[in-house]
A and B are shown apart, each in its own frame.
Chain A
Amino acid sequence: MKHLLSAQDLTRDEAILLLDTAAQMAATQSREIKKLPTLRGRTVVNLFFEDSTRTRISFETAAKRLSADVINFSAKGSSVSKGESLKDTALTLHAMGADAVVVRHWASGAPHQLAHAGWLDAAVLNAGDGTHQHPTQALLDAFTIRRHLAGGTGDLAGLRVAIVGDVLHSRVARSNVHLLRTLGADVTLVSPPTLLPVGVETWPCATSYDLDATLADWKPDAVMMLRVQRERMSGGAGAFFPSALEYSRRYGLDHRRLAVLPDHTIVMHPGPMNRGLEISAQAADSDRSVIVEQVANGVAVRMAALYLLLAGGSSAEGTSI
């Protein structure tokens, strides 16, 4: 595999190799000296067309801990006011000799175009594109679930994961549905009908409009809350739900719903959270919450992805994805 564009592209073996490699990376991170020499002399460009300090820092930390040279390239531009074109940016990075490009973009498909338009021959790592995919987020979520609920090895066979919230606009949901299924988990998407995409019926998961029923009857092993953007309820006649209050009443994870969950069930959130909207402070800070750990696991997973894309074919262990 030359690029990491979509969690949907990963086979079960590739996904498990990524998770196993991430586990090795995580182990090195408890050492006093965290830096590995693996990617010395390689250049990783963080190309961000959309602001996301936390994702950029996570990738930057991962690349630096592998001793890569890191260039942060913030290319502002929206569909309204276009900045430098994607093509010109790609040609510039090509001229700079980038080995890997970590790209975050507001437009779905932009990483796919970077990888396949012939502008660039670097490895392309999708760090979130529009409402399409965010594969390293899905990998770090799977990694976190595996650690807590599957003994830290193998796949996620038989585990139940509820993904709750704005599925329509969520690249996190799209990535997780496919990766979790590939790893053998069962997924139920819980969302108001307005925030489920038309066409979701072909996805490898169940759907529900009723969070209480899903929690009480289905007894998920992990509950993943999605961020709800406040702009989704402003839009007047086009709003997706009537009010923040109604949303959190019907779809928010609060202490009452927390109490219904089986004892082992973990609570997840990709961040940044809207406390009091999709998740209450009690839920976010409870013992079940693995939200802070997700952030730490993000670095290990991104180290694994960069390592396997850039050094995988030539490594001593002979690993290759």
Chain B
Amino acid sequence: MPAYVIRNVRPLGGDAVDVVLDGGVVAAVGADVEAPAGAVEIDGTGHVLLPGLVDLHTHLREPGREDAETVESGTRAAAAGGFTAVHAMANTSPVADTAGVVEQVWRLGQEAGWVDVHPVGAVTVGLGGDRLAELGAMADSKARVRVFSDDGKCVHDPVLMRRALEYVKAFDGVVAQHAQEPRLTEGAQMHEGVVSAEIGLAGWPAVAEEAIIARDVLLAEHVGSRLHVCHLSTRGSVEIVRWAKARGIDVTAEVTPHHLILTDENARGYDPTFKVNPPLRTADDVEAVREGLADGTIDIVATDHAPHPLEDKDCEWAAAAFGMTGLETALSVVQAAMVDTGRMTWADVARVLSTNPARIGRIDAAHGRPIAVGEPANLVLVDPAATRVVDGAAQQTASANTPFRGRELPGRVVATFLRGRATVLDGSPVAAA
């Protein structure tokens, strides 16, 4: 593994310096640093250096749906998108509800070597919502699970949710809730509002998300637990989380890139690429989640990368699967929605896409670190001035269901480093030797 010298680069968008990566760590940061013998020189002029991105919400689909994605293809896509760690959601087949399955996913991640894969454990057996999975066994396994989620399904039983919130305190875990009141969303196809009324698709009301978040923050307060809210999508949800934080409740929240930029108007053409759960909301909701992300009410951006094979999207809207890919467009979308609009700095981007998710997932000893001498060299080099037109077929993910197909987005990942090894160079993945 060679050393790297990145010349004239702006860490977190600050003043330009040289940064040396050697021996898996950041070896030097400063003006005109001495390059170690044999070091690879990278011109970072105009580029921004960020801590490697951390995704708290990735569907890698393996085991079970290798036709959509594998750990290998999904983590390669993650590296291409600038990530150095991902949390793999539990709704695989079999479900990641035992130590055996989470260790399998963890091992596949190690073998692939593109990013650190941290499996998320299911809260309930088989995502059934009936009884707790062996959360302690997953926490104690080699995978060291700290994030538990039935994502795709909501832990809707209030007693079960309370028990889960309490139980994971023993190993500093967190329950990441997919907030969706199931009875209010039976058969739901898109956000319930003006557009659904007109185009005749069954509505997914905002209150079905907000009611669960309101309940859960009160439960978390009552039992003194920490709670993480997945893919919050409405103005009401932002307001509830803001209220909860002001009250001192230990809650964190995430928003997806697509909820920062797309709206329910995108459903009008009945293109199932825009079918996602929670659904795309209104322009007012987009404004609210942008405000919430900028003011810290929303702690992180997480992709909810949800690959699907073509046949699950090339069909009637009502028959299509929910979800869209996101790993390779997340950083560009955040740049477009938040940085280029003047709402956030690159330091803020590092906070919401690296530092905060690493802390929530309790992997902050290795990821989301400052760019300073001695720190692990988990980094991403970004060219914010570049633009590109998204081509689903050309992405690293095995699935093409990107809602940004054909759309020009700003920014390009030039290089990604995982413990000093370049997983991406010149924008292309580099397999481990």
Contacts and interface: CB of A to CB of B under 8 A. Distances in A.
A199 B197 contact: yes
A3 B73 CA distance: 41
Interface of A: 8, 79, 82, 85-87, 105-110, 112-113, 116, 129-133, 171, 174, 197-203, 237-238
Contact of A199 (B193, B315, B318): B193
* Residue from A105, A106, A131, A197 with most neighbouring chain B CB atoms (10 Å): A197
A108 B270 contact: yes
Measured as residues with beta carbon below 8 angstroms from the partner, the interface class of chain B is 20 to 34
Nearest to A196: B197
B198 A199 contact: yes
Contacts of A237: 183
A82 B194 contact: no
A150 to B, nearest CB: 27
B201 A109 contact: yes
Contacts of A107: 316-319
B270 A203 contact: no
A87 B197 contact: no
B200 A133 contact: yes
| Closest 6 A/B residue pairs (Cβ) | A199-B197, A109-B270, A132-B200, A107-B316, A197-B197, A108-B200
Interface in B167-188: 183, 186
Contact of B199 (A82, A108, A198): A108
B197 A203 contact: yes
B342 interface: no
B216 interface: no
Contact of A202 (B183, B194, B269): B194
B47 to A, nearest CB: 40
A113 B316 contact: yes
B14 to A, nearest CB: 47
B32 interface: no
B363 interface: no
B194 A199 contact: yes
Interface string B192-208: 11111111111101000
A108 B190 CA distance: 12
Contacts of A85: 311, 314-315
**Chain A residues touching B, majority SS:** mixed
A133 B270 CA distance: 13
Contacts of A201: 194
A109 B317 contact: yes
A201 B195 CA distance: 11
A239 to B, nearest CB: 13
Given A108-B318, A131-B202, A198-B197, 5 more contacts: A79-B316, A107-B317, A108-B200, A109-B201, A112-B269
A82 B269 contact: no
A202 B194 CA distance: 7
Contacts, number: 80
A260 to B, nearest CB: 30
A113 B270 contact: yes
Interface in B269-293: 269-270
Contacts of A108: 199-201, 270, 317-318
A171 to B, nearest CB: 6
27 contacts: A8-B198, A79-B318, A82-B315, A82-B319, A85-B311, A87-B315, A109-B199, A109-B201, A109-B317, A110-B316, A112-B269, A113-B317, A131-B200, A131-B201, A131-B202, A132-B201, A133-B200, A171-B200, A197-B196, A198-B193, A199-B192, A199-B193, A199-B196, A199-B203, A200-B197, A203-B198, A238-B186
Contacts of A200: 197
Contacts of B201: 108-109, 130-132
Nearest to B317: A109
A238 B183 contact: yes
B392 to A, nearest CB: 16
Given A131-B200, A238-B186, A79 B319 contact: yes
A105 B319 CA distance: 12
* Residue from B186, B199, B200 with most neighbouring chain A CB atoms (10 Å): B200
Contact of A130 (B193, B200, B269, B314): B200
Contacts of A86: 315-316
Interface string B251-271: 000000000000000000110
B282 to A, nearest CB: 10
A107 B183 CA distance: 21
Contact of B205 (A82, A112, A131, A198): A198
Contact of B318 (A130, A174, A197): A130
B188 to A, nearest CB: 12
A240 B193 CA distance: 18
B270 A198 contact: no
A109 B197 CA distance: 13
A280 to B, nearest CB: 29
A107 B317 CA distance: 7
A174 B311 CA distance: 30
A237 B184 CA distance: 11
A78 B199 CA distance: 19
Nearest to B197: A199
A174 B199 CA distance: 9
Given A112-B270, A199-B192, A174 B200 contact: yes
Contacts of A112: 269-270
A105 B315 CA distance: 12
Nearest to A237: B183
A87 B314 contact: yes
A282 to B, nearest CB: 33
Contacts of A87: 314-315
Contact of B192 (A8, A109, A110, A198): A198
A199 B319 contact: no
Contacts of A105: 316
Contacts of A199: 192-198, 203
B269 A116 contact: yes
Contacts of A171: 200
Nearest to B190: A108
* Residue from A85, A86, A87, A109 with most neighbouring chain B CB atoms (10 Å): A109
A133 B201 CA distance: 11
A108 B242 CA distance: 37
A129 B317 CA distance: 12
